[in-house]
Amino acid sequence: MLRTFETIAFAPSQAEEAQKAAAELTAIYGNADPDAADVIVALGGDGFMLQTLHKTMNTGKLVYGMNRGSVGFLMNRYSTENLRERLENAVENAFRPLEMQTRDSEGQTFSALAINEVYLFRQSYQAAKLKITVDGRVRLEELICDGILLSTPAGSTAYNLSAHGPILPLEAPLLALTPVSPFRPRRWRGALLPNKVTVEIEILETDKRPVNAVADHVEVKSVVSVRIAESEEMTARILSDPDYSWSDRILAEQFSN
């Protein structure tokens, strides 16, 4: 049985193309209040889609994106035609974000959610020196690198891919742990982890080698420890066209130059 969407809310980014698209679509389909709408159509790029998903997590709202930005892996192709039919036939994907918990050099704690990835990076000219623990077991006593990231399948084509990490199918119960410019162990290129693990990262020599931590758009400076685990409570819901599914996008990315 197909879903029906009587009311649609259009959420454009500030980009000129997104604003123009919102005006075109509103003239055809109307524009409902986001709180009352059956579905939210995000217009922009992947960064704006992430912002929209963060705002709608655990609200029950479905988000359908159309690309009006520079990058659009999370987005569907833009068209003003047959939008209601596209929405009704779209495939729903629900996924849980990562929860980052940090402690900084002053002893303060902070938590944030990441739909794409949590990453740590050096704050100065000195390489970071990290200790990696997975489910209470030390896996790397010392990793010297520019940084490290833990990516969800949704984020595996973003920073993770630029760092030469693996692309993960959206339905895969995996996380990608990927180093950025590893110096020692030089041959270590990362690991695939079950999505239910807890990863703890201790920053070594914090005074000499300061490190920042980022969960999507939220950055915490001068962290001394970071704990990352899949959230047990939060869920983001996204819609994609069946003829341009996540699997199609992943395959296209893996076979592209």
Catalytically active residues are 46
Burial of 148 (0-12, 13-18, 19+ CB in 10 A): buried
Burial of 150 (0-12, 13-18, 19+ CB in 10 A): buried
Is 27 labelled as part of a ligand binding site? no
Is 159 labelled as part of a ligand binding site? yes
**Shortest CA distance to 213 belongs to which of 139, 155, 149?**
149
Is 136 labelled as part of a ligand binding site? no
**Shortest CA distance to 10 belongs to which of 57, 47, 52?**
52
Is 152 labelled as part of a ligand binding site? no
Is 116 labelled as part of a ligand binding site? yes
Is 247 labelled as part of a ligand binding site? no
Is 82 labelled as part of a ligand binding site? no
Is 207 labelled as part of a ligand binding site? no
Is 162 labelled as part of a ligand binding site? yes
Is 154 labelled as part of a ligand binding site? yes
Annotated binding site: 46-47, 116-117, 146, 154, 157-162
Annotated binding site for NAD(+): 46-47, 116-117, 146, 154, 157-162
